[in-house]
Chains A and B, each alone.
Chain A
Amino acid sequence: MARAQRKTHNRVEKKLVGVADVVITAAQRRQDPTLSIPVRSLSNITFNEHKGLIEMGKGKQARSFFNVGMAKKFMQTILVADALCELQRADLTTSLREIYYRTKHTIANSNENTFDAQDESDPVIEDLEVSLEALREELHVRAENGGSVIGPLVLVDDGDRVDCARLGKGGYSVPSIVEPEFLQIKKCTADFVLLVEKGTQWNRLSEDKFWRRYNCILLTGNGQPPRGVRRLARRLHEEKELPVYVLVDNDPWGYYIYSVIKQGSINLAFESQRMAIPKAKFIGLSSADPEHYGLPRNVGIKLNDKDTTRARELLNYRWFQSKGWQQEIKRMLSSGLKYELDALANKDFQYLTKKYLPRKLKEKDWLD
């Protein structure tokens, strides 16, 4: 194992040093040093209907040094590459924010900083990930520990056995790196995985021991699930062949969270291969639910302009073209209302655990 890790280190380190070689070679040839970086936007992705995944296209953008618009970005890229290489050599992992601080300094003889805010350095790290074809974990950069898991699941983390059925209501906090080298799935007896958008609903389900009654694993990512959560769900789906159900708010953002889990995101399209769960199901909250479950209209929230625009964008995405989804989104638009999962509490505090989910599962009322 250690040797395998060492090997990746060498591979990634070589790639990072390659960035410096680009500069040196170009300078020798009196050319403008240029890095070619795959484009990370809607225009450069394709939806593979066969696999049900979003895949990155071949579009690349040139980032050259002797171009006023790009010079700073170029310099920043080199600096981040340097910092990442330092991590490789020291065999440390770090966060995005620490990378930002590590690379930030004032350029000599000027008032200018190499980076002014973290949102300048984050995209640069993503650029390097994509162009070097190295995963973020391989670059030793951690994302936030943003999720929790609870259920009949036994994990081994750094040699410690973690029984997710014996962690009270709080569950186990999902680390950002859940690759088999770092986290092993020892045992799993669950029947399915339920991924909840919001921590509050996850807490409700955990408190009511929903997972015990229906023998499932409860996962949450507190909003858009971080990589760790997505990757863990994918592993459970792949290795233990568990179906994955997604429970999100009934609004465009909820729909998109579902689609990211299912098909992958536009920004990180290159990671879809190992993150996306094409068979994930959308269990709720559907725009048809308020009627089916008798939710009063007054617990809905009026769609604002941003919501409407976003919903129309979703309608055009190729992975939302199925009849069911078009209907689902159009229904929401025509009602002009969105519903939060929390709205279910209007009927009863335990409505979600006792009525809503049992009925959904029984009726197999979900969207694909």
Chain B
Amino acid sequence: MSKRIRKPHPKPRPQPQQPKPRTPPPPTTVSAVEMGARQREISVSEFFTKNRHLLGFDNPRKALLTCVKEAVDNALDACEEAGILPEVVVKLEATSNGGPPPPPSQASRFRITVTDYGPGIVRQQIPRIFAKLLYGSKFHRLRMSRGQQGIGISAAGMYGQLTTGKPVRIISRTGAKAPAHYFEVQIDTKKNEPQILEKKQIDWERHRGTQVTLEVEGRYQKGRASVDEYLEQTIIANPHVKLTYYTPEGETKEFPRTYHELPPSPREIKPHPYGIELGMLLKMLQDTKSHWLSGFLSGDFSRVSPRLAEEICAAARLSPHARPRDIHGQAAEALYKAIQSTKIMAPPTNCLSPIGEKAILAGLYQQIKGESQEKKQIPLAEGEDLQDDDELARVIRYANRVPLLYQQSACAIFKSVLDTTWRTYGVSQSRGALPAGPMAIFVHMASVWVPFTSESKEAIADYDEIRKEITLALRECGRRLGAFLKRRERAQTEYRRRNIFELYIEEVVEACNRLKGGTLATAKLKEQLHKIAMKRTGGEKTDEVLGKKGGGPEGLPHSIIVTPEGVEGEVPVLSSEAPEEAAPPDGSLEEEQEATKPSRLKRRAPRQAKGKRGAARLTQRAKPKRRRKPKVLKPAGRRRSRAARRKR
């Protein structure tokens, strides 16, 4: 009996005798052979079709944002890499499956068109870039860029294909002399290979550039974490971009370029010895082209000079002339330990392209200033109090110039902000909450390898090193903020004192006049009292400290920059004249090397004055500081491909 249950055969043997009157259906069991027959490879596209939430397509609203984001990120990366000042047009249209399109707020289908004036894509690469997952130029190099893996745009296309059945349509042209190519592609999810539905040469009015059209299921809603917010925040961090946005409601939003220089092109670098693990070292030893160990160390890593290489070899008790390929096991481990215990300079930071103080301030200033508002004045009844609204600080997060809109609380940046003791700097903060006050905290993490918590790139993973660096930067910002707040507080105390006196002078003079039966020379008495008030509150000096010539409410300037030197002044207004074209990209892209991943954190805490009773809010801003300390993180894989394989 038991045997039968345990081992059923494809052809069941007839039971000799006594068929049971009521045979229970034999429990289905599976043999290893059968199981083996079912085991097969899963293509990455099949995996992501099932798990599209991993890529940020979990709900229609987010999916719409993710599609726009992937297309815009690719456009910007391509333009910057080619040394072209980016100019991007985003168009959202509500569509329907036959019939007139519904109003955007109710529509469930959208056509997204993103056009750039970038370098274009060579014809052969178009299908694979848009319809093959994990295909691209950015994965195998250590250089800061928005995209990292080569999943984004093809996943967006796959999502569109899944929800609307429409292919991705691409028009691309690489130059005035080349023809424009039109493609309609789909992804074969089983094989993770592109299927070309249509391709032809067409006439296109642009000399150069790429246009992607996706049709996806989505929901358009304004407000937090919307397409609109994403584009606005993108502009803050990328003031060198000119963006035109056609909303589904038919509006046209122009975001003009406020900064006319292309950010310095980041260079690719080799890995830093501290940032690799033993397995990676073994692989590098096998793959290297160097014949000597010392040559391998100095040639394949950054910040290792020939002298330092000899030192490491000596520490590991290995010959500098040993063949790298012959180093295995014990020896490799000794080498690894020697590397970790040798003092090596921090990796270079030219692989990063920080946004830059001026550029950030210009972007932020535009955004934050617009939000300050006047409060209404209402006479108060007994027992009533003006409620200071408990507005919390807003954290604006960026990774490699891309705004992060979702999963704030899972992000290392957000956690670092919470960890910082803002009270030390004169900002109120409840336990485990964001600091309170009309204030925005801007954190940009620039790195050759930003570790995200998921493929949808919504939050930065909470590595200790990252957390530590962000916290250090936030503290520095906090110190400057504190210095600024204290200084203003002092001047304001004097100013407030004077205000109190001046407020009461009216009352006192009026009452005196009534007491005297209305025969008092009120103007004279008022003037005398005002003079005394002025004299007793620091006179003209108070006005000077407060910078009463500013155009903001209460005569304060709209913004004040605090630097470590304590210099204060208004935010510089960037010239809006068009400058000359940026230089062509340098040849550093061609380098075929591994590199460590330094990351540079940059942060900024713009600030608004705490709203006094009934007073208007002011926009005040601390000058950003820049941390020059690069971090060593885990290395990425080795770069195999040529620059031509770039994804867009």
Pairing of A with B: yes
Indicate if B545 sits at the interface (CB-CB under 8 A). Answer: no
A68-B497, A86-B514 given; A111·B613 CB < 8 A? yes
| Contact yes or no, B508 A23, CB < 8 A | yes
- A65 lies within 8 A of B382 (CB): no
Interface residues on B, range: 20 to 34
Taking a contact as CB atoms under 8 Å apart, the answer to whether A23 and B504 are in contact is no
A150 to B508, CA, bound (A): 47
The reply to whether A107 and B511 contact each other, CB–CB distance below 8 Å, is: no
The one of B380, B504, B516 that contacts A111, using a Cβ cutoff of 8 Å? B380
Q: Which of A14-22, A50-58, A131-139, A277-285 contacts B (4 or more CB under 8 A)?
A: A14-22
**Contact mask A22-34 → B, CB, 8 Å, 1/0?**
0110011011100
Whether A113 pairs with B380 at a CB distance below 8 angstroms is yes
Residues of chain B with a CB closer than 8 A to A112's CB: 503, 613
User: Is the C-beta of A212 less than 8 angstroms from some C-beta in chain B?
Assistant: no
Q: Are A106 and B515 in contact (CB under 8 A)?
A: no
Q: Is the CB of B532 within 8 A of A75?
A: no
Whether, in the assembled complex, A82 has its beta carbon less than 8 Å from a beta carbon of chain B, the answer is: yes
- Report how far A117 CA is from B500 CA in the complex, Å: 19
Q: Are A107 and B506 in contact (CB under 8 A)?
A: yes
Which one of A27, A30, A72 lies within 8 Å of B504 (CB-CB)? A72
Q: How far is the CB of A363 from chain B (nearest CB, A)?
A: 52
Contact with A along B488-512 (1 / 0, CB 8 A): 0000000001001101101110011
Nearest Cβ in chain A — how far from B491, in angstroms? 15
**In the complex, what distance in Å separates the CA atom of A79 from the CA atom of B515?**
9
Q: Is A116 a contact partner of B382 (Cβ separation < 8 A)?
A: yes
Q: How far is the CB of A124 from chain B (nearest CB, A)?
A: 12
A20, A30, A108: the one within 8 Å of B506 (CB)? A108
User: Which residue of A is nearest B531, CB measured?
Assistant: A30
Among A19, A74, A111, A114, max chain B CB count under 10 A is at A111
How many A residues have CB within 8 A of the partner chain? Answer: 35
User: Is the Cβ of A75 less than 8 Å from the Cβ of B504?
Assistant: yes
Contacts of B21 in A (CB 8 A): none
Decide: A66 and B501 in contact? CB cutoff 8 A. yes
Among A60-77, those with CB < 8 Å from B are 65-66, 68, 71-72, 74-75
Q: Which residues of A contact B511 (CB under 8 A)?
A: 20, 75, 78-79, 81-82
Assess whether B23 is interfacial by the CB under 8 Å rule: no
Contacts of B520 in A (CB 8 A): 20, 24
Chain A positions within 8 Å of B531 at CB level = 30
Report whether B380 and A20 are in contact in the complex, using a CB–CB cutoff of 8 Å.
Answer: no
Nearest-neighbor residue (CB-CB) of B386 within chain A: A111
Q: Is the CB of B504 within 8 A of A74?
A: yes
Against B, the Cβ 8 Å flags (1 = close, 0 = not) of A88-118 are 0000000000000000001111111110110
Interface residues of B in 502-547 (CB under 8 A from A): 503-504, 506-508, 511-512, 514-516, 520, 525, 528-529, 531-533, 536
CB of B614 closer than 8 Å to a CB of A: yes
Which of chain B's residues have a CB closer than 8 A to the CB of A79?
A: 507, 511
**Within 8 Å of chain B (Cβ to Cβ): is A244?**
no
CB atoms of A23 and B614 under 8 A apart: no
From A66, A78, A111, contact of B536 by CB (8 A): A66
Question: Which residues of chain A have C-beta atoms less than 8 A from B613's C-beta?
Answer: 111-112
Interface of A is mostly: helix
Docked complex Cα distance between A78 and B507 (Å): 9
> Is B377 an interface residue, CB under 8 A from the partner?
yes
Contact A17 B536 (CB under 8 A): no
Question: A196 near B: Cβ within 8 Å?
Answer: no
A-B contact count (CB 8 A): 91
Q: Across the interface, do A17 and B503 meet the contact criterion of CB distance under 8 Å?
A: no
Question: Is B100 among interface residues, defined by CB-CB distance under 8 A?
Answer: no
Q: In the assembled complex, which residues on chain B have CB atoms less than 8 Å from the CB atom of A114? A: 507
Interface presence of A85 (CB below 8 A): yes
Check if B515 sits within 8 Å of A74, measured CB to CB.
no
Q: Residue B578 at the A interface, CB < 8 A?
A: no
- Among B380, B501, B506, the residue within 8 A (CB) of A65 is B501
B379 contacts partner chain A, Cβ-Cβ < 8 Å: yes
Contact assessment for A82 and B382 in the assembled complex, using a CB-CB cutoff below 8 Å: no
Interchain CB contact under 8 A, A117 and B504: no
Contact status of A71 and B516, CB under 8 A, knowing A27-B525, A30-B528, A81-B511: no
Q: Could you tell me the distance between the alpha carbons of A112 and B516 in the complex, rounded to whole angstroms?
A: 26
A24 vs B522: C-alpha distance in the bound complex, in angstroms? 10
Inter-chain contacts of B529 with A (CB < 8 A): 27, 65
Q: How far is the CA of A116 from the CA of B386 in the complex (A)?
A: 13
Q: Are B383 and A117 in touch, CB under 8 angstroms? A: yes
A111 to B386, CA, bound (A): 9
How many angstroms between the C-alpha atoms of A68 and B125 in the bound complex? 75
Tell me if B514 and A82 are in contact (CB < 8 A). yes
Docked Cα-Cα span, A32 to B532, in Å, equals 8
* Interface residues as binary, B80-104 with A (CB distance below 8 Å gives 1, 0 otherwise): 0000000000000000000000000
CA A255 to CA B531, docked complex, whole Å: 53
Q: Which of A23, A31, A32, A108 contacts B525 (CB 8 A)?
A: A23
Partner of A28, one of B501, B507, B528: B528
Q: A68 to chain B: which residues have CB within 8 Å?
A: 497, 500
Cβ-defined contact, A74 with B382, below 8 A = no
Also in contact, A75 and B507, with CB within 8 A (given A17-B516, A113-B380):
yes
Q: Does B378 contact A (CB under 8 A)?
A: yes
CA distance A68 to B386 in the complex (A): 21
Task: Write the nearest CB–CB distance from A20 to chain B, whole angstroms.
Answer: 4
Shortest CB-to-CB span from A76 to chain B, Å, is 9
Contact present for A16 and B515 (CB under 8 Å): yes
Given A17-B515, A23-B525, do A72 and B532 touch, yes or no (CB 8 Å)?
no
12 contacts between A and B (CB under 8 A): A24-B516, A65-B504, A68-B497, A74-B504, A75-B508, A75-B511, A78-B511, A85-B515, A110-B503, A110-B614, A111-B378, A111-B380
Given contacts A30-B531, A111-B614, 10 further A-B contacts (CB under 8 A): A17-B515, A19-B515, A20-B512, A23-B508, A24-B512, A27-B532, A66-B533, A81-B511, A106-B379, A107-B507
User: B residues engaging A (CB < 8 A)?
Assistant: 377-380, 382-383, 386, 497, 500-501, 503-504, 506-508, 511-512, 514-516, 520, 525, 528-529, 531-533, 536, 613-614
Residues of A within 8 A of B (CB): 16-17, 19-20, 23-24, 27-28, 30-32, 65-66, 68, 71-72, 74-75, 78-79, 81-82, 85-86, 106-114, 116-117
